[in-house]
Amino acid sequence: MIARFTRLMSASVVKKQIMGLTGLLLCGFLVGHLAGNLLIFVGAEYFNAYGHALITNPLIYVAEAGLGVLFIAHLGMAVRLIMENHKARPVKYYLKQPTGRGSTFASSTMPYTGTLTLIFLVLHILQFKFGPVYTIVHGGVEMRDLYKLVVEFYQSEVAVLWYVVCMISIGVHLTHGFWSAFQSLGFHHPSYTPLLRKISVGFAVVIAGGFASLPIYCYFQGGM
């Protein structure tokens, strides 16, 4: 049983599938996270209430652990695959040119956009989850004033710029990652693969654009 599991996990095909599956599940997290954060546009009260509901729900620990496992699996498998792929060609080419009909900017920069996302993620958690704690009372309930924290944080042009750059990077990562996950999992058909590639770009634009709009909005909210 264990031998079968180990053998399965070490197969090249399955390693790709783990990358794809964890990537898609992380895409699901991005959708949820963006949907919640868009409450910033609705108002401080709604955004803070949303944050409060998340933080005070005991299931948050289960969700955080699950996300942690997904992220570590995605990252760990990426490191393993990159190392194996590096070993598969010990002598490099003197000259290597892309055909122009296969690889894209996104597909050839996956390790770099992925690394940038990792750095972003660590800073992002430190800046907000473990950032300064402001409190506010909405409807008689005392809660963390995350709205104030976010607006205050994005008064800095550097912070806004860094955030936008990181979102573009995640967007680029998604344009290849999203459709690629389906390919790895075995979904490929002339009828839906071209559509899947378009959806991949659309999804990347919505996610990156949606998130990037938040700090820009917060920047202009600062004067109030």
Partner 1 sequence: MSDGNMNLKLKVWRQKNTKDAGQMVDYSLEGVSPDMSFLEMMDMLNEKLVNEGQDSIAFDHDCREGICGMCSMMINGQAHGPKDLTTTCQLHMRSFKDGDTVVVEPWRARAFPVMKDLMVDRSAFDQIIAAGGFVNVNTGNAPDGNAIPISKENADLAMDAAACIGCAACVASCKNASAMLFVSAKISQLALLPQGEVEGEERVRSMVSKMDELGFGNCTNEAECEASCPKGISISNIARMNRQYFTSAIKAK
Dist. CA 161–CA 186, nearest whole Å: 38
Indicate which single residue of 176, 196, 207, 218 sits in contact with partner 1 (rule: CB under 8 A). Answer: 176
CB of 109 to partner 1, least distance (A): 11
Q: Which of 219, 222, 210 is nearest to 39 (CA)?
A: 210
Q: What are phi and psi of 141, to 5 degrees?
A: -110, 130
CA–CA separation, 155 vs 159, rounded Å? 8
Q: Which is closer to partner 1, CB of 144 or CB of 176? A: 176
Buried b (16+ CB within 10 A) or exposed e, 12-28: eeebbbbbbbbbbbbbe
**Amino acid letter at 201?**
V
Site string for partner 1, 124-163 (x = CB under 8 A): ----------------------------------------
- Quick one: 58 or 90, whose CB is closer to partner 1? 90
Q: Minimum distance from CB of 15 to partner 1 (Å)?
A: 6
Stretch that binds partner 1, among 122-130, 138-146, 156-164, 189-197 (CB under 8 A): 189-197
Least spacing, CB of residue 33 vs partner 1, in Å: 25
Tell which positions 89-128 bind partner 1, by CB under 8 A.
89-104, 107-108, 110
- Least distance in angstroms from the C-beta of 164 to partner 1: 27
C-alpha distances in Å from residue 34, one per residue of 104, 143, 148, 210, 221: 27, 21, 18, 7, 19
Where are the strands (E) in the chain, listed by range?
Answer: 135-138, 141-144
- Contact between 175 and partner 1 by CB under 8 A: the answer reads no
CB of 182 to partner 1, least distance (A): 8
What counts of helices (H) and strands (E) characterise the chain? 10, 2
- Give residues in contact with partner 1 (CB under 8 A): 4, 7-8, 10-17, 81, 84-85, 87-104, 107-108, 110, 176, 179-180, 183-190, 193
